[in-house]
Amino acid sequence: MSTIEKALQRKKEAAEKARLEAEAHAKEQAEKQATSENDDMSTPEAAMAKAKSARQSPKESASTESSAPAPKRAKKEMAEREKSVPAKAPSAQPVDDDRGLVLELHLNEEDFVTPSSNRSRVSEEFRAIKRKVLNNAFGPLSKTLNNPNIIMVTSSNPGEGKTYTAVNLALSIALEQDKTVLLVDADVLRPNVMRTLGIDAAPNGLMEYLLGETEDVSEVMYHTNVEKLRVIPAGKSHHLSTELLASEKMEETVQEFASRYPDRVVIVDTPPLLGINETTVLANLAGQALIVVEESKTKLADLSSAVETLDPDMAKGFVVNKSLRLRSDEHGYGYYYAGRR
């Protein structure tokens, strides 16, 4: 081997040795860094701080360093967000427990009857309304009515407040010591009970039961966090809703509602009376009809036509919605009982 070849060989061996040493050094440094990071991540607080630091861009880091201290800056940002985002009322969420699906209701005391309502205007108005309804259902008149504890709540036309009335009447009756109440959304064309209660996800309901998609009505009868209140949603819409509501299965179900529990009151939110076939069908199953009238809006001719569609042997009551009070800015409810016609 020549002198030149020997020199090249020695140079090659030296380069290989340097490469191996560099790799060994890099590996050692990597192991030390990993050990250090594991120590830093040993607590949740350290892990969160590390993750936040990794996500933060150089621009954001510079901004943070030049701004106010972190706690003050965080409070300022939170205050700005609260100003820009409108407050949202809490919504009801279905939860599972040993009773099955339970509807957790969070209701505004100014607009709804609640167990904690301290003689509010709404609670007092519906207390007066329910007293007459309960007297009809369980008093002397009940012997002359068919299914006196089945109360349909309706109106002449949409938008007159029937669902709001049905919900609050049910809530008020649920406060009775010796009564339970079942609220049924039978307005299958425009169901609104669940929305009024603030339920985000409407589970299966009346239509699914009548279609045979659920075997037992108890599967669509949901408990609530109001102890004596149960709810049956309308379920999905169906092109044969009139026929389903007029079916023998529906009649048998209502009869079971009426007779199975002697302390039960059933509030049925039905479609408006005018131009809706489903309402006429449901009227044949109820012993009482509560007709919601919006003051200064409902036409007398419409109201008269609506009443004519009802069974003459029913007990009929009229709830005047948004009636004017002594002060011009106050509105409320009034109840007028028509008796049997």
Tokens 């830093």 locate to: 40
Task: Write the single-letter amino acid at 1.
Answer: M
Q: Residue 92 above 60 pLDDT?
A: no
Residue 33, CA distances (Å) to 27, 39, 40 in order = 10, 10, 11
Task: State how far the Cα of 188 lies from the Cα of 177, in Å rounded to an integer.
Answer: 31
pLDDT confidence band for 15 (50 / 70 / 90): low
Q: What is the CA radius of gyration of the chain?
A: 34
Identify which of 175, 268, 269, 180 has the alpha carbon closest to the alpha carbon of residue 230: 180
Burial (CB < 10 A; 0-12, 13-18, 19+), residue 135, is middle
Mean pLDDT of the chain: 77
**In this predicted structure, what is the pLDDT of residue 339?**
46
Determine contact, residues 307/154, Cβ cutoff 8 Å: no
Neighbours of 298 (CB within 10 A): 20
Q: What is the pLDDT of residues 253-270, one digit of tens each?
A: 999 999 988 899 999 999
pLDDT confidence band for 89 (50 / 70 / 90): very low
- Beta strands 288-294 and 150-155: pairing type? parallel
Identify which of 331, 315, 322 has the alpha carbon closest to the alpha carbon of residue 140: 315
Q: Residue 54 above 90 pLDDT?
A: no
pLDDT confidence band for 196 (50 / 70 / 90): very high
pLDDT confidence band for 5 (50 / 70 / 90): low
Burial (CB < 10 A; 0-12, 13-18, 19+), residue 323, is middle
**In this predicted structure, what is the pLDDT of residue 269?**
97
Total number of residues shown for the chain? 341
The secondary structure of 145-195, three-state, reads: CCCCCEEEEEECCCCCCHHHHHHHHHHHHCCCCCCEEEEEECCCCCCCHHH
- Beta strands 222-224 and 229-232: pairing type? antiparallel
- Beta strands 180-185 and 264-269: pairing type? parallel
Determine contact, residues 297/324, Cβ cutoff 8 Å: no
Tokens 């059933």 locate to: 266
**What residues contact residue 125 under an 8 Å CB cut-off, 6+ apart?**
332, 333
